Amino acid sequence: MSELKDMKIMLFPSRYIQGDGAISFLPEVMARYGGKPFVVATKSMLSRAESLMSGKGTVVRFGGECSRNEIDRLKGLAKNAGATAIAGIGGGKPIDACKVVADEMGLPVIIAATIPATDAPCSGCAVIYTDDGVYVEVLYQKKNPDVVLIDTDIILKAPVRFLISGMGDALATYFEAASCEKSHSLSECFGLRTKTALSLSKLCLDILLQHGRDAAKDAANGVLSEAVEAIIEANTLLSGIGFESGGLGSAHSVHNGLTVLEATHHLYHGEKVAFGTLAGLELYDELGIKDKIYKFCVDVGLPVCFADLNIPNVTDAELKQVAESAYKHNFMSHEPAELSTEKVLEAMKTADRKGRELKAAKGK
């Protein structure tokens, strides 16, 4: 008899709304779920949230960390307010906290993301930390967000590095899903892949390669172009759906491995994932397009070598630690290739060498 994990499983947010000024629809969207909206906003979005809601419901400030204490604090406030729906406005941490609050209270959740660097808005899982920011666990919700509101004007006003980092995370999506498919590995919703998930992951890659360079330039100039809109969709919707229903592989394993080196800590998630994608393509490159991916990374300003990762003088001993840690993460076993710690180490060194050569050739 089959088990649930032998089935093809796919998760989606119920409704996705993207556009210039999308956040202005928050009160209208929340009113559909009842008369007592409860809005959690980061410090920088607090006054905007208050004026938007104009006295309807409750608006509170996010405490700063997606920890059990903060989740319980928000749950207490939401309960006292008689909340009929929860909204989270901000980056990955407030979004994740609100997903857990709503899930545990059995309420709808509306997500308004303000940066395009994370897969958090569309997914049905949340990363929990201690109050001091140390990773604790991933919590899985019963369903994905009810509404995801992506205001492209707000996102454009965030530093362009977020958009580029989001492209780094999105870049891994197709390669990891394709590897998982080939090796019959489980996705992040603990099932096999639908054709839909694979196809949307491929669309994510196609949009990046087609619009990524223009989007990076336009966003740096504050222009909300079609390219920027397309990349926001790829980074948020397609990458979010793609990783969850497609699965993870070597790119995120190398990312996790890199976190053992303190010097890489100030880099964003997607920046490390981008380098992990390059190293991963040295291990397995089914489409034979790795050269194209190196060029893309150099052009948009994603890390392609150790110097870009702030570890220009990294030693073999340190790289061995990274490779061992990367290898220990079970996503590495999702690659359909015979791998070892040595191979992962060599792949990182090859990526670094090729990245440096390409940058030199492009005069960067």
Task: Please identify, among the stretches 162-170, 223-231, 314-322, 324-332, the one whose residues bind Zn ion according to the rule CB under 5 A.
Answer: 162-170
Q: By CB under 5 A, which span of 3-11, 61-69, 161-169, 306-314 interacts with Zn ion?
A: 161-169
Q: Select 169 or 271, whichever has its Cβ closest to Zn ion.
A: 169
Q: Which one of 151, 211, 252, 334 is the catalytic residue?
A: 252
Q: Which is nearer to Zn ion, 108 or 168 (CB)?
A: 168
Of the candidate spans 74-82, 123-131, 167-175, 210-218, the one that interacts with Zn ion by CB under 5 A turns out to be 167-175
| Minimum CB–partner distance for residue 159 and Zn ion (Å) | 19
Point out the catalytic residue in the list 146, 211, 218, 269: 269
* Least CB distance to Zn ion at residue 273 (A): 5
Residue 108 or 276 having the CB closest to Zn ion: 276
User: How many of the chain's residues bind Zn ion (CB under 5 A)?
Assistant: 1
Residues near 159 by Cβ (< 8 Å), separated by ≥ 6? none
* Shortest reach from residue 269's CB to Zn ion, in Å: 6
Alpha-carbon distance 108 to 337, whole Å?
42
Q: Taking contact as CB under 5 A, which single stretch among the options 66-74, 168-176, 203-211, 258-266 is the one that binds Zn ion?
A: 168-176
Contact pattern for Zn ion over residues 254 through 283, marking x by CB under 5 A: ------------------------------
252 in active site? yes
| Smallest separation, CB 19 to Zn ion (Å) | 25
User: Which residues are paired to 329 by β-bridges?
Assistant: none
- Identify whether 169 is a catalytic site residue: yes
Out of 169, 218, 308, 352, which one is annotated catalytic?
Answer: 169
Q: In angstroms, give the least distance from the CB of 270 to Zn ion.
A: 7
Cα angle 199, 270, 100 (rounded to 5 degrees) comes to 80
Helix-helix angle 160-183:239-246, to 10 degrees: 30
CB of 6 to Zn ion, least distance (A): 26
Q: Is 269 one of the catalytic residues?
A: yes
Q: In angstroms, rounded to a whole number, what is the distance separating the alpha carbons of residues 166 and 179?
A: 21
- Stretch (H or E) spanning 39: strand 37-41
Q: Where do the H-state alpha helices sit in 81-159?
A: 92-105, 152-157
State the sign of the Cα–Cα–Cα–Cα dihedral 95, 99, 102, 108.
Answer: positive
Please give the distance of CA 242 from its chain centroid, rounded to a whole number. Answer: 10
CB 324 within 8 A of CB 343: no
- Residue 98 near residue 111 (C-beta atoms within 8 A): yes
Contact indicator for 245, 261 with CB cutoff of 8 Å? no
Tokens of 262: 């303190």
Ranked by CB distance to Zn ion, the top (closest) residue is 169
Cβ atoms of 61 and 48 closer than 8 Å: no
Considering the complex, state which of residue 78 and residue 115 has its C-beta at the smaller distance from Zn ion: 115
From 103, 211, 218, 255, active-site residue? 255
Which CB atom, from 167 or from 230, has the smaller least distance to Zn ion? Answer: 167
Using CB under 5 A as the binding rule, whether residue 176 contacts Zn ion is answered as: no
* Cα–Cα distance for residue pair 108/328, rounded to 1 Å: 37
Catalytic site residue 146? no
- The closest alpha carbon to 12, from 163, 180, 189, belongs to 189
Contact between 169 and Zn ion by CB under 5 A: the answer reads yes
Question: Residue 135, exposed/middle/buried by CB under 10 A (0-12, 13-18, 19+)?
Answer: exposed
46 vs 248, beta carbon nearer Zn ion: 248
User: Which of residues 169 and 233 has its CB atom nearest to Zn ion in the complex?
Assistant: 169
Active-site amino acid positions: 169, 252, 255, 269
What residue ranges bind Zn ion (CB under 5 A)? Answer: 169
